[in-house]
Amino acid sequence: MRVIVQPNSEGVSLCAAKVVANLVRDKPTCVLGLATGTSPLGLYQELIRMHHDEGLDFSRVRTFNLDEYVGLGPNDEQSYRYFMQKNLFDHINIDVRNTHVPDGRALNLSTYGEQYEKLINDAGGIDLQILGIGSDGHIAFNEPGSSLGSRTRLKTLASETVRDNARFFGSEDRVPRLSITMGVGSILESRRCLLVAMGPSKARAIRDTIEGPVTAQVTASALQLHRDVLCVVDEEAARLLERRDYYREVERAQTLLQEGRLSELGVSPQPNDQ
């Protein structure tokens, strides 16, 4: 796992948006996996800015969202489809037919997950999956105890998540208890994952994800098994990481390598390199 610690949440959003934008420029037909919630909001705002100011082109990009509340339709202001329209899709030149959010009102809930995954496979799989993390360490709605091999399916929200998300609904009893969510196993099939986290409430989950054991009790820890994960976190979310200094060293070395400043890494050119 590559870990980048930014001074604040704005730094996280700008850094993560650069990663997404680079992919969109390199592969204009890329498939993005998207998340909702507070964590990716700044990232989406920066992508919108890049679209307007720099002509970042989403016309051939396809997207798949991680999850949706069961029972909420696209016009419901709390639905994740509505969130995506308002916070990203309505402001960029994406073709809405290329955007996918699980259908919270699907009636065939037992087979719906398989259908959703088939759509992802038919699109060639997800190139880059954007992820937030719950304070209980969940990714998508894979609550503690979810199988690390789980697929897209119906999932009951944990009480901690109901509490966390009550801020969007006004009160806890208005939060739907069920979701359709991509599984941990489905997420691990993405070619690359980009996890963003900010604020003190994420510090424990981030520590457990990056430095704890791989366990179904912290489903984000399964990302340790993935070959290409980038975690961009702010100082507050990184507060409990024991190896922070090492992550900074890695990033410094990476920058020096990119800039060809090899001598600062203790590498001196050999005669046969001339």
Q: Do strands 193-197 and 178-181 pair parallel, antiparallel, or not at all (unpaired)?
A: unpaired
Residue bearing tokens 């963003």: 196
| Residue 100 bears catalytic tag | no
Does the annotation count 67 as an active-site position? yes
Question: Does the active-site annotation cover 95?
Answer: no
> What does the block give as tokens for 247?
């992550």
Smallest separation, CB 26 to ligand F6R (Å): 25
Which entry of 46, 68, 127, 136 is annotated as an active-site residue?
136
Residue whose token pair is 């990232």: 43
Long-range Cβ pairs for the range 80-86 (8 Å, 24+): 80/36, 80/104, 83/36, 84/34, 84/36
Q: Phi, psi (5° rounding) for residue 273? A: -85, -15
46, 103, 138, 164: the active-site residue: 138
Q: Under the criterion CB under 6 A, does residue 103 sit at the interface with ligand F6R?
A: no
CB 198 within 8 Å of CB 12: yes
Helices (H) and strands (E) in the chain, counts: 9, 10
Q: Whose Cβ is closer to ligand F6R: residue 87's or residue 250's?
A: 87
Give the interface segment with ligand F6R, choosing from 42-50, 133-141, 149-157, 234-242 (CB under 6 A).
Answer: 133-141
Nearer to ligand F6R, 57 or 160 (CB): 160
Nearer to ligand F6R, 66 or 229 (CB): 66
Dihedral sign of CA atoms 21, 132, 93, 32 in order:
positive
Catalytic residue check, 211: no
Of 42, 104, 134, 183, the one binding ligand F6R by CB under 6 A: 134
**Nearest in space to 135 (alpha carbons), one of 124, 144, 127, 147:** 144
Residue with tokens 């699907």: 106
CA distance 80 to 72: 9
**Residue ranges in 9-68 that form contacts with ligand F6R under rule CB under 6 A:** 35-39, 66-67
| Residue 100 binds to ligand F6R (criterion: CB under 6 A) | no
Torsion, Cα 3 6 8 13, to 10 degrees, reads: -70
Give the nearest distance from C-beta 107 to ligand F6R in angstroms: 22
Q: Which one of 92-100, 111-119, 137-145, 186-194 is the stretch in contact with ligand F6R (CB under 6 A)?
A: 137-145
Closer to ligand F6R by Cβ: residue 149 or 200 = 200
For binding to ligand F6R (CB under 6 A), which residues are involved? Answer: 35-39, 66-67, 132-134, 138-140
Which residues are catalytic, by number? 67, 136, 138, 143
